[in-house]
Amino acid sequence: MWNHIQELLSRRNACITSNNDKQALVPSGAIVLRNEVGTAPGLVLKHAVDGTVFILLPGPPYELRYICRHELFPYLEKEYAHLGIIKSHTLKVRGLGESRVAAMLDDLIVRQTNPTIALYARHGDILVRLTAKAPSAAEADALIARLQYNIEAVIGRYVYGYDEDSLPEVLGKELLKQQKWIAFAESCTGGLATSLMTDVPGSSAYVKGSVVSYTEAVKNGLLAVSKTDLERKGAVSPEVARQMAEGVREKLGTDLGVSVTGLAGPGGGTKKKPVGLVYMAVADADGTVCREFHFSGSRTQIKLRAAMAAIGLAFDRAKGLLKPTAEDEKATQQSREKKARKAEREARKQKRLQAGGGEK
């Protein structure tokens, strides 16, 4: 253990302390679970009299996950194979509420035995967890696979990932597959959606950039949001959300432009526009779609939920699941006509200048 700790700290150019000495101490008879990403090992100890097993694990989440996955789980599977195994597999669903998923899967839920089905809601997604009990991992996997097939026959088009898959990762894979670029214009989320997207390694291959348009001046100056709409409709409005998405798409030259504008609180809300009201839009070559959301919780919770919802909206649009409403189509047509008139005015202006007519 001591050699491992010294080598790890040497690679990190870190100093060795007295605490590191203590981390190398191992109780007599303990089984060491090697920690290749940290200095504190995991330990398995068995009581000499009653056989009670004690498992000691490091606290940092990354180290904990590593030891569980690479050391502890294989040890338990080998040591206690005779007890059988309990295994879970999670389907991640978006675009449906928990009650809707429950209703669609009602027949399977009523008839469940082994595996079991459990539904959970988290960050706007629904998690469908399948848990099987079997003598071996292979048999548990087979039981889960059969039930998963039946579930996906019902809600498969809404399943975006499994187990450790995250929405930013899955959106990134979809953008890479389609060879598309994305950009964000964020107001109330303050760049959080972009941050979540760029937490994924390799995201520079599809995230082109973002504009944190927190003030009306930035919305107008950088994203060309109409001053009139900002004054009459307000920054938190579908009109502004649409223009933000179209503006960032045009400004950064991307395939998709995503916008978020809303009220994260705790103050600033009104009866007409309460805290938690958020408008989001996605602009692409086919037009712009906009949706209204209402989130609850603290400022931090609202920002996170809104950021995840914006990423989800972009994923749905990229997958062709987010269809425009009649209002979306009308707004897109008006936006195109407005841009065409502006382009026509600019063309006439340039023509006059070239003819020597000045800027009359």
In three-state form (DSSP H/G/I as H, E/B as E, the rest C), the secondary structure along the chain is CHHHHHHHHHHCCCCCCHHHHHHCCCCCCCEEECCCCCCCCEEEEECCCCCCEEEECCCCHHHHHHHHHHHHHHHHHHHCHHHCEEEEEEEEECCCCHHHHHHHCHHHHHCCCCCEEEEEEECCEEEEEEEEEECCHHHHHHHHHHHHHHHHHHHHHHEEEECCCCHHHHHHHHHHHHCCCEEEEECCCCCHHHHHHHCCCCHHHCEEEEEECCCHHHHHHHHCCCHHHHHHCCCCCHHHHHHHHHHHHHHHCCCEEEEEEECCCCCCCCCCCCCCEEEEEEEECCEEEEEEEECCCCHHHHHHHHHHHHHHHHHHHHCCCCCCCHHHHHHHHHHHHHHHHHHHHHHHHHHHHHCCCCCC
> Residue 229: what pLDDT?
97
Whether the Cβ atoms of residue 9 and residue 39 lie closer than 8 Å to each other:
yes
Bridge partner residues of 256 (DSSP): 182
For residue 131, report the phi and psi dihedrals to the nearest 5 degrees.
-125, 125
pLDDT at 358: 57
Q: Which of 207-211, 326-330, 345-349 is the least confident region? A: 345-349
pLDDT tens per residue across span 64-75: 999 999 999 999
Sequence ranges of the chain with CATH classification 3.30.70.2860? 85-162
Q: Who has greater pLDDT, 122 or 320? A: 320
State pLDDT tens for residues 143-168.
Answer: 999 999 999 999 999 999 999 999 99
Q: Residue 354's pLDDT is what?
A: 86
Given this model, what pLDDT does residue 2 score? 58
Fold of domain 85-162: Alpha-Beta Plaits (3.30.70)
**Predicted pLDDT of residue 16:** 66
**Based on the number of CB atoms within 10 Å of its own CB, is 346 exposed (0-12), middle (13-18) or buried (19 or more)?**
exposed
Q: And the tokens for 173?
A: 């894979």
- How far apart CA 216 and CA 231 sit, in angstroms, is 9
Residue 21, pLDDT score: 66
The pLDDT of residue 123 is above 90: no
pLDDT value of residue 81:
83
pLDDT per residue as tens digits for the range 268-300: 999 999 999 999 999 999 999 999 999 999 999
pLDDT tens digits, one per residue of 42-93: 999 999 899 999 999 999 999 999 999 999 999 998 898 888 999 999 999 9
Distance CA 172, CA 315 (A): 9
The pLDDT of residue 37 = 87
* pLDDT, the chain, mean: 93
Which of the pair, 110 or 343, is modelled with greater confidence?
Answer: 110
Q: Please state, in angstroms and rounded to a whole number, the distance separating the CA atoms of residues 153 and 132.
A: 19
pLDDT of residue 189 exceeding 60: yes
pLDDT in tens, 247-262: 999 999 999 999 999 9
Select 167-324's CATH number: 3.90.950.20, 3.40.47.10, 3.40.50.300, 2.160.20.10. 3.90.950.20
Could you tell me which CATH class the domain 2-81 is placed in? alpha beta
Picking from 35-44, 159-168, 201-210, which range would have the lowest pLDDT averaged per residue?
35-44
The Cα–Cα gap between 316 and 289 comes to 11
Q: CA of 265: how far to CAs of 59, 124, 297, in Å?
A: 34, 19, 9
Q: How far apart are CA 38 and CA 56, in angstroms?
A: 14
Residue 1's pLDDT is 65
- Domain(s) labelled CATH 3.90.950.20 in the chain stretch across 167-324
